[in-house]
Structure 1
Amino acid sequence: LRQSEQLEEIIDDLLALSRIEREANDAQIDLEQIPLKSILEEAADRCRPKAEESDVAIVIDCPENLELEVNPTLLEQAVVNLLHNGITYSEAGQEVVLTAGMLETVGTPKVRISVEDNGIGIAKEHLPRLFERFYRSDRARSRKEGGTGLGLAIVKHIVQAHGGSVEVESTVGKGSTFHIILDS
């Protein structure tokens, strides 16, 4: 039964990834101006059952007045995927912190959405391939924790469809921070 559920998850993720790529290539993603905090709160609400089950707190820090022109459904999914990973790789009693704010840059103003955990971290040699489909930095742990190996690839494609970028900083044993950077 578990294997059929996992296969169903993989198929769902592949279909989602295919749809995102197709819409991005056809420049078809529907954008709307929306308060970013509402998207982050929806994403956190979707992840709360898993967080509570794992005894991990989700903390949100986002200005009320920060708005972005995005596809709210897609951006919410990207944040859900990052939160899900943060929760999965954190120990009980820890926090996953979701922050958003303006990024100090030259030129076009940018917004940075960050998901920070104090989990197991990711070794430097794995960082360049982290956003590839089916790539797993720790195969044994990944199998035990579940997932399809497509979550970060989906994040990357959603962010790229919005003209943005995704970055990661990580230290083994200390945790990881994923950043989504979008034009404001």
Structure 2
Amino acid sequence: RLQALIDDLLTLSRLDEGPEKMEISLDRRPLAPVLCAAVEACRPKAESKQIQIEIACDERLQARLNAVLLEQAVVNLVDNAIKYSPPGQSIKVEVAAGPAEIEIRVIDHGCGIPREHLPRIFERFYRVDKARSRELGGTGLGLAIVKHIAQAHGGRTSVTSAPGQGSTFCIHLPA
């Protein structure tokens, strides 16, 4: 767990330097293979909880992206969805493309997040339920990393959630 914390802090530190200093290259490429790779990385953990992961993404859809970083962001979101979903549920990774932005959504039917916590959910080390977070593991940096990766792509993050109904975490990228 200490190594995971060190790795996450190093990633955040590099992202804090900004795309220019970190030399993040963004190339126009298909989005679907990046999402599929992220889901496949999470599939063993999902299967251990009998959780199904579905992907809905037009194979032709392209975006300016850094595949390694965007895959990490999606892995972080899917991993959280698995952690906070009860066994037997499903998680959906879907993409909506508009004229101005592409929205990657990770939708779960887990415990949900109370409204008062939503404004701070992407902050470093912020946890809704500290006792449960310790039990489930993690560094408390996963969502902060997602936010910084989205920003490095010229995008942003958002979340909608309701206790007992699940959450939808989104990465918004320029179209």
TM range (shorter): over 0.9
**Deviation string, structure 1 residues 16-41 (Cα, Å, up to 9, x no partner):** 11122224253721111111000000
Amino acid at match of 1:122: I
For structure 1, the residue ranges without an aligned partner over 5 or more in a row are 1-5
**Deviation string, structure 1 residues 115-153 (Cα, Å, up to 9, x no partner):** 000000000111111111110001011000000000000
CA contact (8 A) 2:35 2:71 kept: yes
Match of 1:78 among 67, 73, 80: 73
CA RMSD in angstroms, aligned pairs only? 1.1
Match of 1:163 among 144, 147, 154: 154
Match of 2:93 in 1: 98
Partner of 1:26, secondary structure, is: helix
What's the TM-score once normalised by structure 2's chain length? 0.97
Match of 2:132 in 1: 141
What's the TM-score once normalised by structure 1's chain length? 0.92
CA distance in 2, matches of 1:30, 1:130: 27
Match of 2:35 in 1: 40
Amino acid at match of 2:24: I
Match of 1:126 among 95, 110, 117: 117
The reply on whether 1:29 has 2:24 as its aligned counterpart is: yes
Match of 1:50 in 2: 45
- The percent of aligned pairs where both chains have the same amino acid is 52
Match of 1:61 in 2: 56
CA distance in 2, matches of 1:135, 1:85: 14
**Deviation string, structure 1 residues 76-122 (Cα, Å, up to 9, x no partner):** 0000000000011001111110001213xxxx621000000000000
CA distance in 1, matches of 2:43, 2:15: 25
CA contact (8 A) 1:63 1:101 kept: no
**Deviation string, structure 1 residues 52-99 (Cα, Å, up to 9, x no partner):** 111111100000110011001000000000000001100111111000
CA contact (8 A) 1:13 1:148 kept: yes
Amino acid at match of 1:85: N
CA distance in 2, matches of 1:9, 1:77: 13
Amino acid at match of 2:29: I
CA contact (8 A) 2:15 2:22 kept: no
Match of 1:3 in 2: none
Amino acid at match of 2:142: G
**1:122/1:35 CA distance change after superposition, 3 Å:** same
